Amino acid sequence: MKKHWDNPQEHAMPQGVRVPASVQIGTVTVAPATVLAPMAGVTDTVFRRFIRNASVFTTGSDSAASVDATITNQQSGCGLIMTEFTSADGLSRMRETKRKRYLTYYDDEHPISAQLFGSNPDTLADSARIVQDAGFDLVDLNLGCPAKRVVACNGGSGLLKDLPQIERIFRAIRAAVSIPFTVKFRMGWNDKHIVCVELARLAEDCGLNACALHARTREDGYTGQARWEYIAACKDAVSIPVIGNGDIRTPEDAAAMVDITHCDAVMIGRTAPSNPWIFRQIAQYTASKEATGTGTYDHPADQDRYRMIRDYFGMLVDEIAIEEAAEAARAATITASGQVAREQRHRDCVGKMKQFASWFTHGVPGGGALRKQIFESKNGPAVLDAIESFFANRATVLEKEDAVAEVDETMLASAAAYCD
Q: Among 26, 79, 241, 269, which residue interacts with ligand FMN (rule: CB under 6 A)?
A: 269
Letters for 19-58 (x = contact with ligand FMN by CB under 6 A, - = none) are ------------------xxxxxx----------------
Question: Which residues, in sequence order, are bridge partners of residue 266?
Answer: 34, 244
* Axis crossing angle, helix 229-237 with helix 196-205, rounded to the nearest 10: 30
Nearest of 141, 299, 144, 129 to residue 206 by alpha carbon: 141
Letters for 73-112 (x = contact with ligand FMN by CB under 6 A, - = none) are -----------xx---------------------------
Rounded CA separation 135/103 (Å)? 10
Residue number, 270 or 307, with CB nearest to ligand FMN: 270
Select from 62-70, 72-80, 239-247, 365-373 the region that touches ligand FMN (CB under 6 A): 239-247
Q: Counting contacts by CB under 6 A, is residue 1 touching ligand FMN? A: yes
* DSSP code for 365: T
Q: Which residues of 335-363 are buried (b: 16+ CB within 10 A; e: fewer)?
A: eeeeeeeeeeeeeebbebbeebbbbbbee
Rounded CA separation 374/396 (Å)? 20
Nearest of 186, 112, 182 to residue 150 by alpha carbon: 186
CB of 282 to ligand FMN, least distance (A): 13
Footprint (CB under 6 A) of ligand FMN, residues 374-393: none
User: Would you tell me how many other CB atoms lie within 10 Å of the CB of residue 205?
Assistant: 12
Select from 164-172, 252-260, 264-272, 394-402 the region that touches ligand FMN (CB under 6 A): 264-272
Total site size for ligand FMN, rule CB under 6 A: 23
CB of 38 to ligand FMN, least distance (A): 4
Query: Residues 287, 291, 293, 296: is their CA dihedral positive or negative?
Result: negative
Residue number, 272 or 386, with CB nearest to ligand FMN: 272
Residue 177 CB contacts under 8 Å (≥ 6 apart), including other chains: 125, 128, 129, 131, 132, 139
Cα distances from 150 to residues 120, 123, 147, 220, in angstroms, run 13, 15, 5, 17
CB of 7 to ligand FMN, least distance (A): 14
CB of 232 to ligand FMN, least distance (A): 17
Q: What share of the chain is helix, strand, coil (3-state, %, to 5)?
A: 50, 10, 35
Select from 14-22, 246-254, 342-350, 371-379 the region that touches ligand FMN (CB under 6 A): 246-254
In DSSP notation, 106-165 reads -GGG-SEEEEEE-S-HHHHHHHHHHHHHTT-SEEEEEE----HHHHTTT-GGGGGG-HHH
The half-sphere exposure of 65 on its side-chain side, counting CA atoms within 13 A, is: 20
Q: Tell me the backbone φ, ψ of residue 126, rounded to 5 degrees.
A: -60, -45
Residue number, 85 or 306, with CB nearest to ligand FMN: 85
Question: Which residues, in sequence order, are bridge partners of residue 142?
Answer: 184
Radius of gyration of the chain (CA): 22
CB of 315 to ligand FMN, least distance (A): 19
Select from 88-96, 243-251, 292-300, 312-320 the region that touches ligand FMN (CB under 6 A): 243-251
Residue number, 135 or 221, with CB nearest to ligand FMN: 221
Which are the catalytic amino acids? 145
Letters for 173-212 (x = contact with ligand FMN by CB under 6 A, - = none) are -----------x----------------------------
State the residue number with the nearest CB to ligand FMN: 269
Residue number, 155 or 366, with CB nearest to ligand FMN: 155
Cα distances from 20 to residues 35, 46, 288, 340, in angstroms, run 12, 27, 14, 48
Footprint (CB under 6 A) of ligand FMN, residues 109-148: 115, 142, 144-145
CB of 5 to ligand FMN, least distance (A): 8
CB of 383 to ligand FMN, least distance (A): 21
Summarize as ranges the residues that interact with ligand FMN (CB under 6 A).
Answer: 1, 37-42, 84-85, 115, 142, 144-145, 184, 214, 245-248, 268-271
